[in-house]
């Protein structure tokens, strides 16, 4: 894990999946999202989106299984000029992966990174009913059996789990990363995190989530992503947010923001799995009446609306 080869492979992965390493794009008026080309301008299933009730359908999907997320191991964190990201999971003996959640097959964790803004009312890439969280974390997964090049050409090549960050009293979820943030102030800085547990950046309850087909949120905006947005946020302290806001971009300046604006659904529908839906209990005699009432209430509300 400490070899230069390992870090090189991690950096190459970040370059291919999220266009880093001195690329000419960014988030200011000269190189921001309005200047990105290709699918970023012409695509019809772009990300992020604003998730609204009228575009959302309740769905009895399986839970998302986070396999190998409880182990402690080494990762390399880097400031790539666009965000702070961490990689190295593919070098672990037991590689973390996800399944379930209406995904077909296994998706192996490649890296995670963050999006934020300088004000509390902006920062997340996705919005819920027009409102933003202060920040959003993305866990990027590659479908089993595919290379990155292959994955970027397929609608289901990647699966990204989005986690919203909300300012609160506990800073435990991001503690392993934020205690090293001073070492990542400038573009190109990197540091080793010796003991990182992927489960730490997930909310306690992961049963409820939004599901839709979308794209990468950075150039080339490949429409290759199955998105899973967890409904419950994790907590970050105000001090941790202030640390994050001091991270500098490729121009040596603090990011005013590093999130992309939302895009129309263009006919897509968002599926939502509420926490109370549990397919393993679907046929339970004690559970069926409450499920019937829930479903009936949903149907009735749609009719009345």
Residue by residue, DSSP assigns 225-267 as EEEEEESS-EEE-HHHHHHHTT-B-TTSSB-SB--PPP---TT
Gap between the Cα atoms of 80 and 168, Å rounded: 27
Is 121 among the catalytic positions? Answer: no
Is 74 among the catalytic positions? Answer: no
Residue corresponding to tokens 């992965």 = 13
Is 2 among the catalytic positions? Answer: no
Catalytic residue among 115, 126, 141, 255: 115
Catalytic residue among 91, 125, 136, 223: 125
Gap between the Cα atoms of 193 and 257, Å rounded: 25
Is 242 among the catalytic positions? Answer: no
Question: What is the β-pairing status of strands 64-67 and 97-100?
Answer: antiparallel
Catalytic residue among 113, 126, 141, 255: 113
Q: What are phi and psi of 93, to 5 degrees?
A: -60, -45
Catalytic residue among 47, 82, 136, 206: 82
Q: Both tokens of residue 252? A: 């040596």
Catalytic residue among 76, 206, 217, 250: 217
CA atoms within 13 A on the CB side of 242: 3
Catalytic residue among 126, 138, 141, 255: 138
Is 91 among the catalytic positions? Answer: no
CB 27 within 8 A of CB 256: yes
Is 82 among the catalytic positions? Answer: yes
Q: Both tokens of residue 66? A: 């986070």
Q: Both tokens of residue 186? A: 């400038």
Q: Which residues are catalytic?
A: 82, 113, 115, 125, 138, 217
């Amino acid at each position: 894990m400490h070899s230069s080869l390992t870090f090189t492979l991690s950096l190459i992965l970040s370059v291919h999946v999220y266009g880093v390493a001195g690329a000419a794009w960014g988030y200011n008026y000269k190189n921001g999202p309005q200047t990105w080309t290709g699918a970023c301008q012409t695509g019809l299933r772009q990300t992020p989106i604003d998730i609204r009730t009228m575009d959302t359908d309740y769905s009895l999907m399986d839970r998302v299984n986070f396999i190998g997320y409880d182990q402690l191991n080494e990762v390399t964190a880097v400031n790539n000029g666009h965000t702070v990201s961490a990689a190295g999971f593919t070098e672990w003996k037991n590689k973390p992966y996800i399944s379930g959640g209406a995904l077909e097959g296994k998706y192996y964790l490649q890296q995670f990174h963050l999006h934020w803004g300088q004000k509390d009312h902006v920062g997340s890439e996705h919005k819920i009913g027009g409102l933003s969280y202060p920040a959003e974390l993305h866990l990027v997964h590659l479908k089993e059996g595919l290379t990155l090049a292959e994955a970027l050409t397929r609608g289901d090549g990647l699966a990204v789990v989005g986690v919203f960050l909300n300012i609160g009293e506990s800073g435990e979820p991001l503690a392993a990363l934020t205690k090293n943030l001073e070492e990542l102030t400038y573009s190109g800085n990197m540091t080793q995190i010796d003991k990182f547990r992927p489960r730490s950046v997930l909310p306690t309850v992961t049963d409820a989530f939004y599901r839709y087909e979308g794209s990468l949120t950075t150039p080339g905006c490949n429409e290759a992503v199955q998105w899973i947005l967890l409904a419950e946020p994790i907590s970050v302290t105000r001090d941790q947010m202030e640390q994050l806001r001091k991270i500098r971009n490729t121009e040596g300046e603090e990011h005013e923001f590093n999130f992309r604006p939302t895009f129309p659904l263009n006919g897509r529908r968002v599926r939502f799995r509420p926490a109370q839906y549990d397919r393993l209990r679907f046929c339970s005699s004690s559970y069926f009446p409450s499920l019937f009432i829930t479903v009936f209430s949903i149907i009735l509300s749609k009719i009345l609306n």
